[in-house]
Amino acid sequence: MSLKFGTDGVRGVANSELTPELALALGRAAARVLGGSTWLVGRDTRQSGPMLTAALAAGLASEGVAVTDLGVLPTPGVAHLAAADDVPAAMISASHNPFADNGIKLFAAGGRKLTDEVEAAIEAELLRAGVHVDGADRRTGAGVGAIGSDPGAVRRYLDHLVAAPLDGRRFDGLRVVLDEANGAAAGLASEVFTALGALVVSMHDRPDGTNINEACGSTYPEDLRAAVVAHGAHLGLAFDGDADRVLAVDAAGELVDGDQIIAICAIDLHERGLLTHDTVVVTVMSNLGFRHGMAAHGIEVVETAVGDRYVLEALDQGGHVLGGEQSGHVIFRRLASTGDGILTGLTILDVLGRSGRSLAELAAAAMTRLPQVLVNVRTSHRDPELLEKLGPELAAAEAGLGERGRVLLRPSGTEPVVRVMVEAPSEAEAAAVAGLLADAVHALAG
């Protein structure tokens, strides 16, 4: 049975690529590698979620694990409960992907995403055992794990959010529009912000199993931009399907991305003496303007591979407290072990309230984004030597831009594409360089 972990767990078309049989086998393999007598399993609002939850739970229970079905809960909520209870966990979600897709994210005890080595061990165990387990290895009688539920799971996570970052401060008088992506944040996010005094307008908050991420959320913020202006709100927040990321919109309807959010939060922590080692952690995809902005404020930048689990590793290795991705994954390490869109949104409102400045003012003071062009080149095959073969073209592009810009080529960890990213002083120059590199990638692997 074939399975490969991507940048953020396992993903595929539900019941075609990611089947119940595969989920069951993955549950068995994960239980054998990660251990644990109790596991937590949450999901987003996709129609295939209950099916895959049942299959994964069955695989875990067949290895003697007691499984608690958390129901619909954001990914950071699952990670928080896993950390609080010191148990392994799984999240059934394909994040920002269309509803027909689904995925499985695994957390080790303590709510941490898995290392590459642990993922490789699970892949090997799955390949070794597959769906079939020898009768001698099967548990029977009282050795079979029970599957139950936790009606209080959502409340535990909600209480954590309300209490975590604010030290008793409230958002009275601040108006915010929330795009809940018809996903795991639906209902929960508005309850949190309302409890803290914000005037909340909710949209895309009625999931039906098929409308998650559909023309809404962090991958499609156009409705939110219009709604913020129409309601005269101070800002808007757009979550993705499992609410582990968020993008913001200022009062004029302009988008504020993850780089800008991290920059705002880093400067705020730095000025209050709370940014450990005066360092922030981001991935190679962060805008060059972010690096310039941090340097201007005396903040060091540590760079990692793409994926919030690599950001987390760097945070823990260096004893740092803030990191994240341009896509809107932001990790406040003192409060969470993964990106948390709702927690990030709360922090943004808190900075606004304490500073007395608008989101647009904070973003402009934090950094100036260089024009960035991203081209996804779909490939017909994976070539491990592709980047080496593109060496001359890449060197020529980098030489042409010099210190004025930046070029990045990387294979996607979740899709059969190569991402070509170019930053330059102008949109036209970035687009021209990206086009040349995309053509070169397509000629070799398209």
pLDDT digits (tens, 9 = 90+) for 76-109: 999 999 999 999 999 999 999 999 999 999 999 9
Question: What is the spatial distance between Cα 214 and Cα 46, in angstroms, rounded to a whole number?
Answer: 11
User: How do strand 417-423 and strand 372-378 relate by DSSP bridges?
Assistant: antiparallel
Place of tokens 């988008």: 255
Q: Per the structure block, which two tokens stand in for 272?
A: 């209050």
**Average predicted confidence (pLDDT) for the chain:** 93
Question: What is the spatial distance between Cα 50 and Cα 20, in angstroms, rounded to a whole number?
Answer: 10
CATH number of 372-445: 3.30.310.50
pLDDT of 122 above 60 = yes
Q: Per the structure block, which two tokens stand in for 93?
A: 């979600």
Question: What is the spatial distance between Cα 324 and Cα 386, in angstroms, rounded to a whole number?
Answer: 28
The domain segmentation of the chain, as residue ranges, is 10-151, 164-366, 372-445
Q: Give the model confidence (pLDDT) of 9-59 as tens digits.
A: 899 999 999 999 999 999 999 999 999 999 999 999 999 999 999 999 999
Please, are residues 441 and 374 in contact by the beta-carbon 8 Å criterion? Answer: no
CATH 3.40.50.720 holds for 164-366:
no
Instruction: Give the pLDDT band (50/70/90) at residue 388.
Output: confident
H/E stretch holding 330:
strand 330-332
pLDDT recorded at residue 429:
95
Strand order in the sheet with 279-283: 300-304, 279-283, 322-324, 330-332
Average pLDDT value for residue range 161-184 = 92
Q: Where are the alpha helices (DSSP H) in 297-390?
A: 308-318, 341-355, 359-366, 386-389
E-assigned strand segments in 168-284: 175-179, 199-203, 235-239, 246-250, 255-256, 279-283
Neighbour tally for 384: CB within 10 Å: 7
pLDDT recorded at residue 128:
82
Does this chain's domain 10-151 share its CATH topology with 164-366? Answer: yes
Burial class (CB in 10 A: 0-12, 13-18, 19+), 230: exposed
Whole-prediction pTM: 0.90
Low-confidence winner among 295-309, 342-356, 378-392, 424-438 (lowest mean pLDDT): 378-392
Q: Per the structure block, which two tokens stand in for 420?
A: 């070509």
pLDDT recorded at residue 132:
57
Place of tokens 């890449």: 394
pLDDT recorded at residue 167:
81
pLDDT recorded at residue 410:
85
CA 366 to chain centre: 23
pLDDT recorded at residue 293:
96
Active site residue 190: no
Low-confidence winner among 198-207, 243-252, 380-389 (lowest mean pLDDT): 380-389
Instruction: Give the pLDDT band (50/70/90) at residue 164.
Output: confident
Question: What is the spatial distance between Cα 429 and Cα 406, in angstroms, rounded to a whole number?
Answer: 11
Query: Across the strands, what pairs with 375?
Result: 420
Place of tokens 């709510």: 111
Evaluated on CA atoms 129, 131, 132, 138, the torsion sign reads: positive
pLDDT of 134 above 60 = no
pLDDT of 1 above 60 = no
Catalytic residue among 48, 62, 95, 202: 95
Of 378, 407, 306, give the one whose Cα is nearest residue 7.
306
Q: Which residues contact 202 (CB under 8 A, 6 or more apart)?
A: 177, 178, 180, 189, 190
Phi, psi angle pair for 70, to nearest 5°: -85, -10
pLDDT recorded at residue 184:
98
| The total number of residues written for the chain in this structure | 446
Low-confidence winner among 168-177, 310-319, 349-358, 378-387 (lowest mean pLDDT): 378-387
pLDDT of 192 above 80 = yes
Low-confidence winner among 262-276, 320-334, 357-371, 388-402 (lowest mean pLDDT): 388-402
pLDDT of 133 above 90 = no
Please, are residues 188 and 74 in contact by the beta-carbon 8 Å criterion? Answer: yes
Please, are residues 370 and 287 in contact by the beta-carbon 8 Å criterion? Answer: yes
CATH number of 10-151: 3.40.120.10
